[in-house]
Amino acid sequence: MANNSSLSKRAALRQQQELEERNKRNRRILGAGIGLAVVTVVVVLAIVIVQALTSRVEVTAEQQTPPNATANHGILYNGVEPSDDVPHLVVWEDFQCPWCKVYEDTYGSTFHQLAADGKITIEVRTATFLDGTSGDDSHRAALAAAAADAVGKFAEYHDVVYANQPEEGVGFTDEQLRVDFAEQAGITGDDLTKFQELFDTRAFETWVTEAAERFTTDQIGSTPTYLVAGTKLEFTDDAGNALIQPTEESFMAAVNEAWEAGDRNNDF
């Protein structure tokens, strides 16, 4: 009999496949050669720009860069640097993106274990294009995640945010981001004081903004996007059938194929 973990993974995978198929139908309906992701990013970007001009909270701290930041505006998962002998996985995500949570719930434990075993390294890059639905919640969550990296708790904070992701459009409260999630991630004492000060003064404002700009200039288009050697991993085919199963063997096979196709390039 299948255990509860296997059942929950299959249920999450089915949900992901349904969402993928719904998105493919939407793209066909739009037609006329215009990609849905491009349209979405352009429209939402316009909303974000307007909000940035009218309602951005004052930045009061000297701007900083997260200690485990990469030159490409990501944060290394558990601070492990890429190496030439294992594939480097880049994950583009928006903390408000419901699909990101589906993928995290389905595949997260798999590639986190692969990273723990030294078979891959992981870098998370944050987009904030969903801010158009609920103020600047994606941006503030990215600021908080960067602040968590400053106290050595990025991976833990990242996972807590997704575990508590609200319905799309509801957004995060400051109480959740600066108190509740921090405590759940194990940020306490002087580290909590430092974390909250970095968050309150928006010490990583410039860095988070530049990461979001890279999402646009690199034409990523949607979240979540998983890249290896600059190649996007495809999790389903056009019919919605799973190409990558939530197992270490299946995921690693897809990663290795992309890595070899991209000449083992870990700098992208």
- CA-CA distance, 6 to 246, in Å (whole number)? 9
What's the pLDDT score for residue 59? 77
- How many structural domains is the chain composed of? 1
What's the pLDDT score for residue 154? 98
Is the residue at 41 inside a domain? Answer: yes
- The band of 36, judged by pLDDT with boundaries at 50, 70 and 90, is very low
189 backbone φψ class: left, alpha, beta (φ>0; ψ -120 to 50)? left
Identify whether the C-beta of residue 128 lies closer than 8 Å to the C-beta of residue 171.
no
Strand order in the sheet with 75-76: 75-76, 121-126, 88-93, 225-228, 231-232
Identify whether the C-beta of residue 165 lies closer than 8 Å to the C-beta of residue 95.
yes
- CA-CA distance, 17 to 3, in Å (whole number)? 21
Q: What is the share, in percent, of the chain residues with pLDDT greater than 90?
A: 72
Q: What is the share, in percent, of the chain residues with pLDDT greater than 70?
A: 77
For residue 20, pLDDT over 80 is answered with no
Is the residue at 124 inside a domain? Answer: yes
Spatial CA neighbour of 83 closest among 247, 227, 259: 259
What's the pLDDT score for residue 49? 38
* Residue with tokens 């589906």, as numbered in its chain: 102
What's the pLDDT score for residue 30? 36
Q: Which residues of 42-51 are buried (b: 16+ CB within 10 A; e: fewer)?
A: eebbeebeee
Assigned token pair, 154: 């990025």
pLDDT in tens, 176-231: 999 999 999 999 999 999 999 999 999 999 999 999 999 999 999 999 999 999 99
pLDDT in tens, 49-58: 334 433 345 6
What's the pLDDT score for residue 53? 34
For residue 17, pLDDT over 60 is answered with no
- Arithmetic mean of pLDDT, 156-172: 92
- CA-CA distance, 78 to 151, in Å (whole number)? 12
Is the residue at 38 inside a domain? Answer: yes
Q: Which residues of 66-95 are buried (b: 16+ CB within 10 A; e: fewer)?
A: bebbbeebbbbbeebebeeebbbbbbbbbb
What's the pLDDT score for residue 21? 55
Is the residue at 171 inside a domain? Answer: yes
The per-residue pLDDT of the chain, averaged, comes to 84
Q: Which of the residue ranges 109-113, 133-137, 212-216 would you say has the lowest mean pLDDT?
A: 133-137
Is the residue at 94 inside a domain? Answer: yes
Is the residue at 18 inside a domain? Answer: yes
- The band of 43, judged by pLDDT with boundaries at 50, 70 and 90, is very low
What's the pLDDT score for residue 169? 74
Is the residue at 268 inside a domain? Answer: no
Q: What is the CATH number of the domain that holds 206?
A: 3.40.30.10
Name the residue range of residue 192's domain. 4-261
- Arithmetic mean of pLDDT, 75-101: 96
Strands 75-76 and 225-228, by their bridges, are unpaired
Burial degree of 213 (CB within 10 A; 0-12, 13-18, 19+): middle
Which letter does DSSP use for residue 178 in this model? I
Is the residue at 267 inside a domain? Answer: no
pTM equals 0.79
Long-range contacts, stretch 42-49, CB < 8 angstroms, 24+ apart? 43/132, 44/129, 44/130, 44/131, 44/132, 45/129, 45/216, 47/131, 47/132, 48/128, 48/129, 48/131, 48/132, 48/212
Identify whether the C-beta of residue 137 lies closer than 8 Å to the C-beta of residue 171.
yes
What's the pLDDT score for residue 52? 41
Top pLDDT among 61 and 22 is at 61
- CA-CA distance, 216 to 125, in Å (whole number)? 12
Output the CA angle 18-19-20, nearest 5 degrees.
90
